[in-house]
Chain A
Amino acid sequence: MDTSMQMKMLMDMRRVRKMEEVCAELYTKEKIRGFLHLYIGQEAVAAGVINLLNAKDNVIATYREHAHALLKGISSRAIMAELFGRIDGCSKGRGGSMHLYSVENRFFGGGAIVASGVPQSLGLAMASKRLKERRRTVCFFGEGAMAEGVFHESMNIASLWHLPVLFCCENNLYAMGTSLMRSQSQTDLVKRAQVYVMEANRVDGMNIFDVVEKTKQALEYIDRESKPFFLEFQTYRFRPHSMYDPEKYRGKAEVEKWKTRCPIEALEKKMKEQNILSDEQLRDMDRQIDQELRDAVIFADSSALEISSDLEKDVFAPMKDQAYETHL
């Protein structure tokens, strides 16, 4: 990665980190409601992978998707307004934290059902292959999703039918409160993918350089072979599963240990060592990020609610008023 790319990665990771921290605070103030799943600690995965994609590539993710949504191109304004439940949100306030969507940015959610996006990524990849669109499809999910039946079904079909999906497993060791050790008979997730006769690799998800290098290799394979690739990103969330989680299932010592491997601090340290990052540049970055988020928060807070009489709109898409062809 050259200097400018490292700067972009750092900037994006810090943007995500700050945005998630702001969300935490706004949740405690009841501006954001429902469930809130924060990505803090895992920033290198979303930043590394999505920055290697083109605007036209498809991304489908999970309920812990704020970072993926932001980096795929949805404005922080639209995300924040969505979290506030307002009409200017990317899902018009209808979705909330777990259902961020933007067709324009080829971001297909967001999803509250674990593993539900996995089979859908197959169809997206198949469509782009059939329509000769040269669009890649990237599917993010947690290691918990690998226990779902539909995950197995999807991996089988992806490999069998050569559907060029990049499967990104964000293994943060805990599916809500249940550790990988306690839920999977085979905890070597790369091995689990290889069983489907699929290329697979393991990534240090706390190291942005490893993320970028291995993702690049995977994307090159997919572009060349038009077959799927599975990446296991070993990562960790520093915060609880969601805002209301007393974290009884893991010890504070473990959390503190992983915090010493913070991907943002690691990149900052490396860049400073190589004299390509100064404290002043960091301060500038912070200022810029604070401005962006301040703007987003004020935008969200002043955005209106959707009119309640529109409640029943958009259950169905309207039929085009075309004259039905009655003859072949």
Chain B
Amino acid sequence: MKLTYRDALRQGLKEVLLKNENTFLIGEDVGAYGGTYAVSMDFWQELGPEKIMDAPLSEAAFTGLAIGAALGGLKPIVEIMTVNFSLLAMDQIINSAAFMRYMSGGQITIPLIIRMTTGGGRQLGAQHSNSYEGWLAHIPGLKILVPGTVEDARYMLRFAILDPNPVLIFEHALLFNMQEDFKDIPKDFSPYQAKLRKSGKALSLISYGGMLHKCLEAAEEMLKFGQEVEVIDLRCLRPLDEKTIFDSIQKTHRALIVEEDWKSGSFSAEISARIMENCFSDLAVPVQRLCRKEVPAAYAKHLEESAIPQTKDIVHKLQEMLT
């Protein structure tokens, strides 16, 4: 059976909303409009306005409301239309959601999910095309999920809803129409661990979200040159599954991290640092990174595309590293 990323998100979301009495979805245009990415299409009609709440354009207030609701015993799922708008809610996300448990000496629990669309590549311009999951993965107190496959999009909410902590889920904008084969949930499914999407001995290709598939394409291409590249899907940036990364590098001795965020201070820099700290003697060559060029996103297609790592760029880099 094939399922799109969008349908997977939709099914996962509906399942969780139906199963948990105290769960509700709140965000802009999630109800009557059907969701800007059609993830919550028809939910409002089927589940009603208490379950599906259309909020005014007030990111800070409805995120704060969700935090208060979590404090009060409900399990809110906030949809912030895109990660770009989360900037308006940053104080609530960081100073409250992330910190309240620690500040209160462990008394407070905030079971909160915030879903956001991330990434660029659709000519939406500088203010609509960014990837801030790496930034937010910097903050202690937040969990950061970055699903890049249909399976993860379908099942990760089942686990996130059981997590008593703030969980931020970043859904990549270019993946919504992606179709993949789909089966029942695997026995040992956990969204908080990295997964090998392709096994190999030549190099560890580390990525997540929107870049994952370009990496898989690139790895496929490298088979023509007789190079088996191991592709690691991080799936979760915080907590970061170091073990999978380090085990892989022990095997391959080479690492390339591919990310859609701007290079300086990106999360790939963090991963690179950790690899250096922990696997230095396993490395045959320095860790490399392929990231977005440090410019705000342009509207013109050719400019936007040239700033974001594409499959051919990844192949090129791999060839450089493997010859």
Give the residue of A91, A99, A108, A157 whose beta carbon is less than 8 angstroms from that of B61: A157
Give the residue of A131, A319, A325 whose beta carbon is less than 8 angstroms from that of B164: A319
CB nearest to B74 among chain A residues: A127
**CA–CA, A71 and B269, complex, Å:** 49
Give the residue of B50, B107, B189 whose beta carbon is less than 8 angstroms from that of A326: B189
* Docked-complex contact A156 and B56, CB < 8 angstroms: yes
Q: Chain B, interface size: which category?
A: 35 or more
By a CB distance below 8 angstroms, the chain A residues around B50 are 130
Q: Counting CB contacts under 8 A, is A113 at the interface?
A: yes
Interface string of A278-322 (1 = CB under 8 A from B): 000000000000000000000000000000000001111111101
**CA–CA, A60 and B104, complex, Å:** 13
* Docked-complex contact A149 and B60, CB < 8 angstroms: yes
Which of B32-40, B92-100, B172-180 binds A?
B92-100
By a CB distance below 8 angstroms, the chain B residues around A315 are 101-102, 140-141
* Docked-complex contact B189 and A127, CB < 8 angstroms: no
* Docked-complex contact B68 and A124, CB < 8 angstroms: yes
By a CB distance below 8 angstroms, the chain A residues around B65 are 119-120, 122-123, 126, 154, 157
Q: Counting CB contacts under 8 A, is B285 at the interface?
A: no
Q: Counting CB contacts under 8 A, is A253 at the interface?
A: no
* Docked-complex contact B101 and A123, CB < 8 angstroms: no
Q: A94-B104, A157-B56, A324-B159 are in contact. Are A127 and B72 (CB under 8 A)?
A: yes
* Docked-complex contact A126 and B69, CB < 8 angstroms: yes
CB nearest to A148 among chain B residues: B60
Q: Counting CB contacts under 8 A, is A61 at the interface?
A: no
**CA–CA, A116 and B104, complex, Å:** 16
By a CB distance below 8 angstroms, the chain B residues around A325 are 158
* Docked-complex contact A101 and B105, CB < 8 angstroms: yes
By a CB distance below 8 angstroms, the chain B residues around A51 are none
Give the residue of A112, A120, A157 whose beta carbon is less than 8 angstroms from that of B67: A120
By a CB distance below 8 angstroms, the chain B residues around A318 are 164
Q: Counting CB contacts under 8 A, is B165 at the interface?
A: yes
* Docked-complex contact B103 and A316, CB < 8 angstroms: no
By a CB distance below 8 angstroms, the chain B residues around A102 are 107
B contact residues vs A (CB 8 Å cutoff): 15, 19, 22, 50, 55-56, 58, 60-74, 76, 91-92, 95-96, 100-109, 140-141, 143, 158-159, 162-165, 184-185, 187, 189-190
13 contacts across the A-B interface (CB closer than 8 A): A58-B72, A116-B91, A118-B64, A119-B60, A119-B62, A120-B68, A122-B65, A124-B68, A153-B56, A315-B141, A316-B143, A319-B162, A324-B162
4 closest residue pairs by CB, A with B? A123-B68, A127-B72, A119-B64, A92-B105
